[in-house]
Structure 1
Amino acid sequence: MDLQENLIKDRDTFIEENKKFIYNVTFSICKKKLQWENDDELSVALIAFNNACNSYVETRGNFFSYAKVLIKNALIDYFRKNSNKYQLSFGEENEELKDAFLKNSLTEYEIKQENLKRSEEIKVLSEELKRYNVSFKDLVNNSPSHKDTRDKLLDVSFACSKDSSILNYIHKYKKLPVKQICITIGCNRKFIEQWRRYILSLIIIISNESYYYITSYLNIKVGDKNGK
């Protein structure tokens, strides 16, 4: 039985067999011994792992890299939401994190964790983009410099990300359906061709909720105009 079949047909067994993985990822964040029966962190991580099982598709790269990102995101969100009352038993080697929590001042810690989460997301995205012959470096280095162009490309990408037929074509053929986009969205073909890789990358990012910090890094925002 392959991975995809395990995720669908035998979820409980698959999760049970990977509880060590879930524990290790959780421990790498919390830096303390944990018990399945008593620690909320492991419950948060277990739910995140199950969410990874629900949302994973092969185009998102290695499953365990993807699951690791979701677990880390869920744990950091949990720490943030419980920052006023949350107490961690850090060892001496983790005094910096201990002080951050005890003083109820997570600013520096949050910055470090957000950088870590963004780095993990970039790894997952880079693997996914390889399947489309696009690199993350291409996306960053070839971003449009003019705001009007960026806004227009975002409009196109958001519209495409909401069109199931366009998304299905992209996932199946690993390229943009340029003609279909021109007809459906009403865009100039030359414009789409010029920014083909950038649009393709944006659609992949926008249509995947786990790329939260990359979205922030690239200043992709769903405002009144794009979020309608």
Structure 2
Amino acid sequence: MHDYLLKSSQPFMVKIVSQVCKRYIDPLRDDEFSIGLSAFNEAIFLYSPAKGSSFLSFAKLIVSRKVIDYIRYNARRQHIVSFDQTYDEETMENPAEISAVIEQYQDEQLALNRREETLEYHQKLEEYNLSLLELTEIAPKHRNTRETSVQIARMLIKDEELREYVKTKKKLPIKKMESRVPVSKKTLERNRKYILAMFIIFDENYLYLKEYIKEG
């Protein structure tokens, strides 16, 4: 079904890509068509009818934007004036539909970025012998304790020596930390895994997870 949809939609893609490029695009020769094909494939997986736009409108926007990005990239490399940014609005007649499609695309991209970041975080946790499931069990129940743990993780990030120790040894330098944090050794030991988990988020600069920490 997926392959059939890609094949049957080739005339649609040729039309859209040709409109963007302002010339006829040959599917067998022009790189722009390959970019459009890849974008159309992405649209198939990202589309959600719940957002209120038709699939073709959504696909049209995704294909157009990807091809425009490709043209701009090549233009920058060749020091050519950037591509016309008003294409999307000019080629889609219904302003409400434009808004719905753009909103859906942005929402789907945000969700995709969050999933990718979470997956990367999961892989990084494994390097420290931690897991996402374990975090749900070891997270401090009291908000003050969570906030203190986050502050300790930030302190580790700012101290180059301690930061390098944690990244190399994959554990906390408890003895070195005792005189630098406002909690006891026992508290450090009890919350060490959670502190490590927070450290990873700051060290890798996981933007969405950092927002989650702020909300928590």
SS in 2 for 1:187: coil
Task: Tell me the distance in 1 between the aligned counterparts of 2:193 and 2:145.
Answer: 14
Deviation at 1:43, TM superposition (A): 8.8
1:184 to 177, 180, 184: 180
Is this contact kept in 2: 1:176–1:200, CA < 8 A?
yes
User: C-alpha deviations, 1:59-117, integer Å up to 9, x for none?
Assistant: xxxxxxxxxxxxxxxxxxxxxxx9xx672899xxxxxxx98871277555433322221
Q: Is residue 215 of structure 2 the alignment partner of residue 214 of structure 1?
A: no
Q: Per the alignment, do residues 187 and 88 of structure 1 end up closer, same or farther by CA in structure 2, a change over 3 Å counting? A: farther
Contact 1:153 1:199 in 2 (8 A): yes
- Tell me the amino acid that sits aligned with residue 98 of structure 2: L
Partner-residue secondary structure (3-state), 2:153: helix
Alpha-carbon distance in 2 for matches of 1:111, 1:204: 26
* Structure 2 CA distance for partners of 1:34 and 1:173, relative to 1, 3 Å: same
Equivalent residue for 1:196, pick from 192, 195, 204:
192
Moved more, 98-107 or 171-180: 98-107
Q: Map 1:5-16 onto structure 2 (within 5 A).
A: none
d(CA) in 1 for partners of 2:136, 2:98: 38
Q: Aligned pairs, how many?
A: 151
Residue 119 of structure 1: how far off its partner (Å):
0.9
Could you tell me the TM-score, scaled by structure 2's length? 0.56
> C-alpha displacement at 1:136, in angstroms?
1.9
Q: Which of these two proteins has the greater Rg computed from alpha carbons?
A: 2
Gaps of 5+ in 2: 1-34, 44-60, 78-84
Q: Percent identity?
A: 24
Scaled by the length of structure 1, what TM-score is found? 0.53
Of stretches 180-189 and 104-113 in structure 1, the one that deviates more from structure 2 is 104-113
Q: Give 5+ residue unaligned stretches, structure 1.
A: 1-22, 47-81, 91-97, 222-228
* Distance in 2 between residues matched to 1:169 and 1:88, nearest whole Å: 53
When you count helix as a share of all residues, which structure comes out higher?
A: 2
